[in-house]
Amino acid sequence: MASSDTERQRQSDRSALMAALAWQVAAGADEAIGETPVDRFVRGQTTAATSVQPAVSPTAPRTGFDEPGRDSSPGSAPDMPAPVAVAPAPPAADAHRIAGAVATLAELRAALAAFEGCALKQTATNLVFGDGSPASGLMLVGEAPGADEDRQGLPFVGVSGQLLDRMLAAIGRDRGSAYITNILPWRPPGNRQPTPAEIALCLPFIQRHIELVAPKVLVLVGGTSAKTLLGRNEGIMRMRGRWFEYVSPALPRPVPALATFHPAYLLRAPAQKREAWRDFLSLKRKIESGMPD
């Protein structure tokens, strides 16, 4: 082959490789989770590199968290070799025990930073614990960090966070007068939706988080947050705008909890902002009517 042909071939191979890489990133596989590539087309192949696979394909994107009609069922490919669990995650009982043993927010943060039971930690860049003023009386709980939050280690700092900030500003609040966290403290790779197993594993931590903050009012931002913390099966369309009670034996009294749309959903469905505005006015009234001491 003449050298110009070889060069052309090399360029074409390179373009094909770059296109394949771009396709994977676009599909959400944007995190390297093993040293060696795994050829999943080879039947029965298993290597240690498969030990930290997330529970669902990272290609199921978290396109807007809990918007109506979103298919959250974990995908599975029929011919994939079963992942080998080299280091089995500790049972949820461990999370319960650890979360139950902490007495302050600083201890909870340290316990989460040391917790190795959730595979999401392996692909996340940072623990996203919380932001704002825990003493403000107002606590908002979202779903899980996205890419910006993962990079900065703070909740709701990306575009949906900016919208949330504007919604708070509309009722005279900001991060100095509200406290914000998420159900999950680590970003699901590729922004995919958290699995029920990941949510269940992290539940004791967010429950303890709420107990330690002891807010006067809770805002459940999006369906995942509302369903998880209220233990209800209804979709966010039915729950939003309604006040519920968040009950915990470690809290002196039930906390009024408002379910509302996730700002990521509002960015894609701006017509629903009107409903979200109603929710925030209801929140403002609740705060002004005097939050219980």
Residues contributing to the site for ligand URA (CB under 6 A): 65, 142-146, 149, 155-156, 158, 160-161, 182, 264
Which residue lies nearer to ligand URA by CB, 149 or 198?
A: 149
Query: Which is nearer to ligand URA, 53 or 240 (by Cβ)?
Result: 240
In angstroms, give the least distance from the CB of 150 to ligand URA.
9
Q: What count of other Cβ atoms lies within 10 Å of the Cβ of residue 146?
A: 24
Residue closer to ligand URA, measured from CB, 119 or 264? 264
Minimum CB separation of residue 27 from ligand URA in Å reads 20
HSE, CB side, 13 Å, CA atoms: give it for residue 72.
17
What is the CA angle 193-120-161, rounded to 5? 55
Q: Whole-angstrom distance between the N-terminal and C-terminal Cα of the chain?
A: 83
Q: 156 or 244: whose CB is closer to ligand URA?
A: 156
Minimum CB–partner distance for residue 266 and ligand URA (Å): 12
Nearer to ligand URA, 246 or 265 (CB): 265
How are beta strands 243-246 and 255-260 bridged, if at all? antiparallel
Q: How far is the CB of 194 from ligand URA (least distance, A)?
A: 10
Is-contact 93 226, C-beta < 8 A? no
> Is 144:121 a contact under the CB 8 Å cutoff?
no
- Kindly tell me which of 50 and 257 has the beta carbon lying closer to ligand URA: 257
Closest CA to 168 of 56, 276, 79, 40: 276
CB of 234 to ligand URA, least distance (A): 19
- Contact 167/260 with Cβ under 8 angstroms? no
Please report, for residues 126, 134, 150, 156, the alpha-carbon distance to residue 111 in angstroms, rounded to integers and kept in the order given: 14, 18, 18, 22
Closest-by-Cβ residue to ligand URA is 142
Minimum separation from the CB atom of position 251 to ligand URA (A)? 23
Report the SS3 class of residue 293: coil
Alpha-carbon gap, residue 256 to 88, rounded angstroms: 38
Cβ atoms of residues 87 and 195 within 8 Å: no
Q: Which is nearer to ligand URA, 61 or 81 (CB)?
A: 61
Closest approach, Cβ 44 to ligand URA, in A, equals 38
For residues 161 and 148, the answer to whether their CB atoms sit within 8 Å is: yes
